[in-house]
Amino acid sequence: MREGTAVDVKATVANRVGQRAARQVFDRSTTGISGARPRAPEVPMDPRRWSPTAGWQLLLAAQGLLLVVLGLLGLANGGWRASGDVAVLVVFQLNTAHSLLLLAFGAVEVLAAPWRRTAVLCATVQMVGGLMLFVYGTAESTLDSGRTPFLLGPAENFLHAGLAVVGFVILCGLESVPRPTRPRRMVPRH
């Protein structure tokens, strides 16, 4: 061990303490007579009320409501027919099977939106499912129109492609917000 090591450590610590005291004196002289910095009032915040991901979850719920409305319009206009296209909003030609699929998935999205984990799962399923239905619809368009239950047209194919893109955006938004971490114990409790 070197001579003077303890003295060097004590000098370094004393220097740091002196710097901290000098900063405190400077802070008191620049903040006014009382010496205390003005602080904003501390309002207790319920972590369950609003989170950084709330906007993405609200977007998922709004999209779910839109799908529910679209599914209900398809069922209302279709009259619960087993087959046959029904014009909904002039653009989409929905049959009963497709309307039920939109209605069910929209309801699941609305129910899943309040919780982050279920919102992530729902956005993932929407992204993958939308992409699969887009591929299925474009492949189906080359077949005879009476061979499959969904009878998807170009407007429905673009609807599914759009749902896949929106699902990807919501998923990226939900996963890009840092999550709070809890301190973890390295030693198990006995």
High-pLDDT (> 70) share of the chain, %: 55
For 173, half-sphere exposure in the C-beta direction (CA atoms, 13 angstrom radius) is 18
DSSP 110: H
Domain-embedded: residue 34 = no
Domain-embedded: residue 45 = no
Q: How many domains does the chain have?
A: 1
| Angle, in degrees to the nearest 10, between helices 116-140 and 54-78 | 40
Q: Which amino acid is at 124?
A: T
| Euclidean distance between CA atoms 105 and 67, whole angstroms | 7
Domain containing 88 equals: 54-176
CA triple 91-122-152, angle to 5 deg: 30
The DSSP H or E segment spanning 62 is helix 54-78
Residue 172 confidence class, pLDDT cut points 50, 70, 90: very high
Residues 83-133: pLDDT tens digits?
A: 555 566 667 778 788 889 899 999 999 999 988 889 999 999 999 999 998
Domain-embedded: residue 145 = yes
For residue 61, what pLDDT is reported?
94
Domain-embedded: residue 182 = no
143 vs 173 pLDDT, higher one: 173
Over the chain, what is the mean pLDDT?
75
108 vs 12 pLDDT, higher one: 108
Q: What is the 3-state secondary structure (H, E, C) of 132-179?
A: HHHHHHHHHCCCCCCCCCCCCCHHHHHHHHHHHHHHHHHHHHHHHCCC
Domain-embedded: residue 67 = yes
For residue 89, what pLDDT is reported?
66
SS3 at position 1: coil
Domain-embedded: residue 82 = yes
Domain-embedded: residue 92 = yes
Mean pLDDT over 32-58 rounds to 61
